[in-house]
Structure 1
Amino acid sequence: MSYLEAIVVGAFQGVTELFPVSSLGHSVLIPALVGGQWAKDLDVSAPESPYLAFIVGLHVATALALLVFFWRDWVRIIGGFCTSIRYRRLKTPAERLAWLIVLATIPVGVSGLLLEHLFRSTLGKPIPAASFLIANGAVLYLGERLRRRADRVSTVDEAPAQVLDTADVATQVIPAVETDPDTRLARIPLKRGVLIGSAQILALLPGISRSGVTMVAGLLRGLSHEDAARFSFLLATPVILAAGALKIPDLTGPLGAGIHGPILAGSVASFVSAYLAVRFLTRYFHTRTLTPFAIYCGVAGLASLLWLTLG
């Protein structure tokens, strides 16, 4: 693996992990589209692939960027988790949000351990990745359409609100302008939070975006774009960090032999690009939607599919 390959892949990893366009899909497609030595060096589906260990290891840098950006939130969340254990309660917003993230992370954690190798070895190839990228665009576009339809039929004439879908309080709303973002997220019912978190399982498919599917799930469950993005980033942090940490031993062993320099360069590129990406997206989703990303995924996926099959 060359330094150029490592830096390019690292930069794309940081951006595409947080943009709703699939980092794994781009990690599979970019080498295939470039061709030549890149396609040989950077094959994620190869047995005992150092490239797979490399890109998953880059997740540590991406997760660190998220931790740095949301450090105040994580101080409160970790503090809430500790106080909930100490006092055996689930009372404050920080305590509720901490357990919401814990419970919502369990499904994808278990699924990743059981299915990652199967999905990577059978679907971690350019043609399936391009196809799933098109599907990712369709999911983003459909999610936006369904959300807009729900907004049109809504009879609530107040400020932006989130509807609690509990059986006994079906009409109760949480005014989005009355509380800070973490407090709003803490009011998500646990069942709804677990459903949103479970959407991350789809991101095991190369071409399906983790942030994209969790945002769509959040939108369909009543969150605003801003809160859906924030919840997606908070949910992704422990999952990305754990996935990367599991691959670090591989990078220090035979799979990482001779590429420690490129690994470091790629990690720095991934950290910087991820930090800039999350900084941009938290502002972008304050007023904008997933539609541009849906169009990009559809066009890029279709163009890649045509290039790979007809070229």
Structure 2
Amino acid sequence: MTIDAHHLTYPEAIVVGLLQGVTELFPVSSLGHSVLLPALLGGRWARDLDVSTPESPYLAFVVGLHVATALALLLFFWRDWVRIITGFVTSVRYRRIEHPDERLAWMIVLATIPVGITGLLLEHTFRTVLGRPVPAAIFLTVNGVLLYGSERLRRRAGAAEATADPGAAADRRLAAGTFGGATLIGTAQVLALLPGISRSGVTLGAGLLKGLSHEDAARFSFLLATPVILAAGVLKIPDLFGPLGAGIHGQVLAGSLAAGVAAYGSVRFLTRYFETRTLTPFAGYCVVAGLGSLVWLLAA
């Protein structure tokens, strides 16, 4: 199977790259938007950008953008990842889990296993069966309800906010949690296999329900997302150098640059935003966008 060089245009690639970089980190679902935007625009966009198509070059392109998004996260949190990787190495070398960096490293490992296994087994099924505009609109609405519900339950529990304290101190607070709690937060990422359910949204919500502040929940969410997003992108890179990527390498590069810049700007904004603010505005957006898209699609 060969792909026409015009199957994915540069405007499409840049728009989707910017969309991926923002919506992957904002709690509004990158996959949901990648499904809904082409359907709402219609025409060539709907024809070219369909992730539910078997052996979809668009899917290979979108997941390939994950590498750029993950690199932006690594760049932003590079100091944290130096500590985490060092902690993992010393933990394995000395067969201990004592230092906060060692604990945080294993928390991330354990939290990543459930979504990694589930993604390998079910990603294709979920995408081909549910990666369509109407299910995506429904799940985007559900995502908004989940975000709002997590805020309401957290307020009812009376959890306190931490003061803004980035870097090693924040990582020590995260490492003070339990391995079971970290695994439960990471397991919530499985829901993000559904188009419209946000990876960062469900992990943020799960973190809040486990008693984390918005700031720490967001930080842990971004740290958890990095290996998952990177792995998803790396697994799809061979597709981009095979028949599915024929004729679109320039578009992939343009989209990746857009995604990387947008992701870096997004994580920089969100880490500051969640020092003092909540998920409620994103919940409202998802409900309005999801219901509005559903009405539009059903009326078309």
TM-score scaled by structure 1?
0.92
| CA-CA distance at 1:177 after TM superposition | 7.3
Do residues 87 (structure 1) and 87 (structure 2) align? Answer: no
Counterparts of residues 25-104 of structure 1 (less than 5 Å): 25-104=32-111
Q: Distance in 1 between matches of 2:75 and 2:221?
A: 16
Do residues 127 (structure 1) and 116 (structure 2) align? Answer: no
| 1:226-267 alpha-carbon deviations (Å, 9 max, x no partner) | 000000000000000000000000000000000001000000
Q: Distance in 1 between matches of 2:148 and 2:161?
A: 22
Do residues 224 (structure 1) and 235 (structure 2) align? Answer: no
Q: Distance in 1 between matches of 2:230 and 2:21?
A: 13
**Equivalent residue in structure 1 for 2:199, among 210, 234, 237:** 210
SS of 1:60 mapped into structure 2: helix
| CA-CA distance at 1:120 after TM superposition | 0.1
SS of 2:207 mapped into structure 1: helix
| CA-CA distance at 1:216 after TM superposition | 0.4
Structure 2 contact 174–220 (Cα < 8 Å) conserved:
yes
Q: Distance in 2 between matches of 1:263 and 1:160?
A: 41
> Which one-letter code corresponds to 1:215 in the other structure?
L
Structure 2 contact 107–182 (Cα < 8 Å) conserved:
yes
Identity among equivalent pairs (%): 74
| 1:159-210 alpha-carbon deviations (Å, 9 max, x no partner) | 747xxxxxxxxxxxxx997981000001110001000000000000000000
Unaligned runs of 5+ in 2: 1-7
Do residues 113 (structure 1) and 120 (structure 2) align? Answer: yes
Q: Distance in 2 between matches of 1:177 and 1:84?
A: 26
Match of 1:193 in 2: 182
> Which one-letter code corresponds to 1:295 in the other structure?
G
| CA-CA distance at 1:47 after TM superposition | 1.1
Structure 1 contact 160–176 (Cα < 8 Å) conserved:
no
> Which one-letter code corresponds to 1:27 in the other structure?
S
Match of 2:25 in 1: 18
Q: Distance in 2 between matches of 1:196 and 1:102?
A: 12
Give RMSD over aligned pairs.
1.4
Please identify runs of 4+ aligned residues in structure 1 that moved more than 6 A: 175-179
**Equivalent residue in structure 2 for 1:249, among 221, 238, 247:** 238
- Tell me the number of residue pairs that the alignment of Structure 1 and Structure 2 aligns: 292
Do residues 286 (structure 1) and 275 (structure 2) align? Answer: yes
TM-score scaled by structure 2?
0.95
Q: Distance in 2 between matches of 1:104 and 1:142?
A: 22
> Which one-letter code corresponds to 2:92 in the other structure?
I
Match of 1:148 in 2: 155
**Equivalent residue in structure 2 for 1:307, among 278, 296, 299:** 296
| CA-CA distance at 1:144 after TM superposition | 0.5
Structure 1 contact 143–219 (Cα < 8 Å) conserved:
yes
> Which one-letter code corresponds to 1:9 in the other structure?
V
Q: Distance in 1 between matches of 2:41 and 2:219?
A: 34
**Equivalent residue in structure 1 for 2:12, among 5, 10, 13:** 5
| CA-CA distance at 1:2 after TM superposition | 0.2
Structure 2 contact 60–236 (Cα < 8 Å) conserved:
yes
SS of 2:46 mapped into structure 1: helix
> Which one-letter code corresponds to 1:219 in the other structure?
L
Q: Distance in 2 between matches of 1:119 and 1:244?
A: 18
Q: Distance in 1 between matches of 2:65 and 2:143?
A: 22
Q: Distance in 2 between matches of 1:306 and 1:276?
A: 32
